Amino acid sequence: MRQSIFVILLSCCTILSYKAIAQRDALNMPEHDDKLYYFGITFGTNFSVYRINYTASFANTDTFKRIQPYWLPGFNLGLISNLRLSKFIDLRFVPSLEFSERRLVFEYDIPKDSVSDRTIESIYMHLPVQLKFKSDRIKNFRFYGLVGGKFDYDLAANSRSHRQDEFLKVQPIDAGYELGVGFEFFNSNFIFSPEIKLSQGLVNQLYKSPNIPLSNAIQDLHSRSIVISIHLEG
């Protein structure tokens, strides 16, 4: 399913890029840069992982031999509101829902060399505020970079769960920073913008619970995502 979504996004990117190149001799949406604000939609895929810092006693414990995080794909869908601050700088707010998964593989010493492979699912209410730094427009093309901060609330966080089979508990609130680059292709009625960004959480996501051995082996748990998005703006 996720592979199909990625293929569709890539196909849309290719088709619309070719269309914009084919129209390069005609200046599309010439009045767009004079707009004070405009809106759009965004959708795409993300690849998420946890960055782990272990406790000082992890190397000496006889419970776990290895705890290894892995990347997993997900998808995101949201809205764009863009405010023009100057010719080269915009302020952008992109509220969205982000469905992500993160994989943890941990190996026990006892019983010897037994391995567990678990997945943590998250549904983030993603609220980033970004500064968008634009280049000069070259006919129907422009490059931009972005930097900003984010606030995330995980609707699927299990920190309040009372289930006895939880292997790890995570906090619902996260905040951090984002860095990215993108391209704008001006079509006759809309702007097609592929974008890639790094989203790094700065809040420790780990919910300490003495009844969960895995949480006692981890000191800090931070979220990290690479997000590939398609923006359609007017």
User: Using one digit for the tens of pLDDT, what is the confidence trace for 135-162?
Assistant: 999 999 999 999 999 999 999 998 777 6
The pLDDT of residue 162 is: 66
Helix, strand, or coil (residue 224): strand
Q: Which helix (H) or strand (E) holds 35?
A: none
User: Could you give the residue ranges of the DSSP H alpha helices within 62-170?
Assistant: none
Write down the CATH number for the domain with range 2-233: 2.40.160.20
Contacts of 163 (CB under 8 A, 6+ apart): none
DSSP string for residues in 181-234: EEEEEE-SS-EEEEEEEEEEE-S--B---TT-HHHHHEEEEEEEEEEEEEEEE-
pLDDT tens-digit map of 189-208 = 999 999 999 999 999 999 88
The pLDDT of residue 7 is: 43
Contacts of 48 (CB under 8 A, 6+ apart): 71, 72, 74, 100, 101, 102, 122, 223, 224, 225
Band the pLDDT of 22: cuts 50, 70, 90.
very low
pLDDT tens-digit map of 86-119 = 999 999 999 999 999 999 998 876 666 678 888 9
Q: What's the chain's average pLDDT?
A: 87
Question: What percent of the chain is predicted at pLDDT more than 90?
Answer: 65
Domain assignments of the chain as residue spans, ordered by start: 2-233
Band the pLDDT of 1: cuts 50, 70, 90.
very low
The token pair at 25 is: 């001799």
Burial class (CB in 10 A: 0-12, 13-18, 19+), 45: buried
Q: What are φ and ψ of residue 169, in 5° steps?
A: -115, 140
Rounded to a whole number, what is the largest CA-CA distance in the chain? Answer: 69
The pLDDT of residue 205 is: 94
The token pair at 28 is: 């599309």
Helix, strand, coil percentages, rounded to 5, for the chain: 15, 60, 30
Radius of gyration of the chain (CA): 21
Whether residue 2 is predicted with pLDDT greater than 70 in this model: the reply is no
Whether residue 64 is predicted with pLDDT greater than 80 in this model: the reply is no
Burial class (CB in 10 A: 0-12, 13-18, 19+), 193: buried
Whether residue 24 is predicted with pLDDT greater than 80 in this model: the reply is no
Q: How many CB atoms lie within 10 A of CB 5?
A: 15
